[in-house]
Amino acid sequence: MSYLLLQNFFNAHPKAALGFSGGADSAFLLHAALRCGGDIKPYYVKTPFQPGFELRDAEHVCGELNATLEVIAADVLSEPAVASNPPDRCYHCKHLIFTTIRCRALSDGYEILLDGTNASDDAGDRPGMKALRELGVLSPLRECGLRKGEIRRLSKEAGLFTWDKPSYSCLATRIPTGMPVTEELLDRVAAAENFLFGLGFSGFRVRALPDGSARLQVAAEQMEKVFSEREKIKEALSTYFTAVTLDLSPRMGERT
């Protein structure tokens, strides 16, 4: 039924540009679109908000699907409404990114613009959704009622390596509202998280704080690992932050 609904969507929209992140949702959407015979071109907007592995994953997925990935660099921090980090930062950032994609896509002959929002995503608490609506971006997964769990199941059946890839929100979500976002701060967060990935952690966040310190959030099942690796973590992350504290409330689900 899921593929039938998507087939109907792509019968109605056979040619489109896709805002592509390389995550589970956009990877499955690209796979499904190509399977349904769509002429879909993926566009990845490279900004300081994404760690390097996101682009590598996007390139990997497109390579496996024989899709040509268009990479566009965007200086999102040149937009004051993004760099100042107001409560609606995500709106301004999303608007800039998809406007950038739209300009390139139109020059390539693609008038319809898609994204990978799924039916599990809550439009009510995501300012970026407002930008998508204003720009007329279509969300096939959401329109066809596909939720995250089903997308992961179908991705696994399709052999996509992204089927169990953890959700990874942009690095700017690690910085509290009102605290200015700088490339240097984003680089420190990314470096700290890369170190933790190297130790085998997943589903965690390193939250920068205004006093120069950071707060580490991990899933309940990884708390014990944090304590066993405490000295390594303390030594490495002290390179990037004045101090690091552990949030004793475990991080739950696929939140930001």
pLDDT at 241: 98
Confidence label for 256 from pLDDT (cuts 50, 70 and 90)? low
Answer yes or no: is pLDDT of 184 > 60.
Answer: yes
pLDDT at 94: 95
Contact criterion met (CB below 8 Å) for 26 and 19: yes
Per DSSP, what are the bridge partners of residue 240?
none
Confidence label for 120 from pLDDT (cuts 50, 70 and 90)? confident
Answer yes or no: is pLDDT of 121 > 80.
Answer: no
Per DSSP, what are the bridge partners of residue 114?
18, 138
The whole-number average pLDDT for the span 235-244 is: 96
- State how far the Cα of 24 lies from the Cα of 11, in Å rounded to an integer: 23
Per DSSP, what are the bridge partners of residue 73?
46
Angle between helices 24-35 and 148-158 in degrees, nearest 10 = 60
Residue 5 has φ and ψ, to the nearest 5°, of -65, -40
Residue 205 to residues 22, 29, 48, 195, 250: CA-CA distances in angstroms? 19, 26, 17, 12, 11
**DSSP string covering 47-104, please?**
-TTS-HHHHHHHHHHHHHTT-PPEEEE--GGGSHHHHT--TTHHHHHHHHHHHHHHHH
- State how far the Cα of 14 lies from the Cα of 7, in Å rounded to an integer: 10
Q: What is the location of CATH 3.30.70 in the chain? A: 182-246
> The pTM is what?
0.92
Fold of 182-246: Alpha-Beta Plaits (3.30.70)
Determine what percent of the chain falls in helix, strand and coil, rounding each to the nearest 5: 50, 10, 40
Q: What is the location of CATH 3.40.50.620 in the chain? A: 2-164
Residue in 188, 205, 200, 203 with CA at minimum distance from that of residue 245? 205
- State how far the Cα of 18 lies from the Cα of 39, in Å rounded to an integer: 10
Which CATH architecture best describes the domain 2-164? 3-Layer(aba) Sandwich (3.40)
Answer yes or no: is pLDDT of 122 > 80.
Answer: no
pLDDT in tens, 156-167: 999 999 999 988
* 181 secondary structure, DSSP code: P
